[in-house]
Amino acid sequence: MENHDEDVLAHLLRRAEETAGTRESKLLQDLTVILQAAAAGHTMVLRCAWCERFEVEGEWVSLGAEEVKLGKLADAVTHGICIDCFRGIEPPPRSSHGED
Ligand SMILES: [Zn+2]
């Protein structure tokens, strides 16, 4: 049996310790709790399909490339789009005067 999910969570907690006292640390800890609950089927985690960040308390938390191989946690992830990417891919507003 693979323990990759636990590796991911352990890595998150390690990063949270490394950044202790910062906002990022708090979000990483919260993300760990959310991922654990999600893996247990209690909730879903929203992830931006463009930049691959996770939503935590309305903020978007980035994980490194090695963390995103999420074992069975992947089943608990639902994909959406964060506001930054949404703004980036949003088409420019059309002129209502048809200047083309
Ligand atoms: Zn994004």
Number of domains the chain contains:
1
Task: Please state the pTM of the whole predicted model.
Answer: 0.71
N- to C-terminal Cα separation, the chain:
61
Identify the domain containing residue 12 by its residue range.
3-87
Domain membership of residue 50 (yes or no) is: yes
Q: Is residue 95 part of a domain?
A: no
Cα of 4 vs centre of ligand 1, distance in Å, is: 25
Domain membership of residue 82 (yes or no) is yes
- Do the domain assignments include residue 48? yes
| Rounded Cα distance, 76 and 55, in Å | 13
Task: Give the distance (Å) from ligand 1 centre to CA of residue 72.
Answer: 22
pLDDT band at 1 (very low <50, low <70, confident <90, very high): very low
Establish if 99 belongs to a structural domain.
Answer: no
| Per-residue pLDDT, 84 | 92
Distance (Å, whole) CA 100 – CA 24:
46
Asked, for residue 41, whether it belongs to a domain, the answer is: yes
Ligand 1 geometric centre to CA of 77 (Å) = 14
45 and 38 Cβ atoms separated by less than 8 Å = yes
Tens of pLDDT, residue by residue over 49-87, are: 988 889 998 899 887 655 556 666 777 889 999 999 999
Ligand 1 centroid–CA 47 distance in Å is: 8
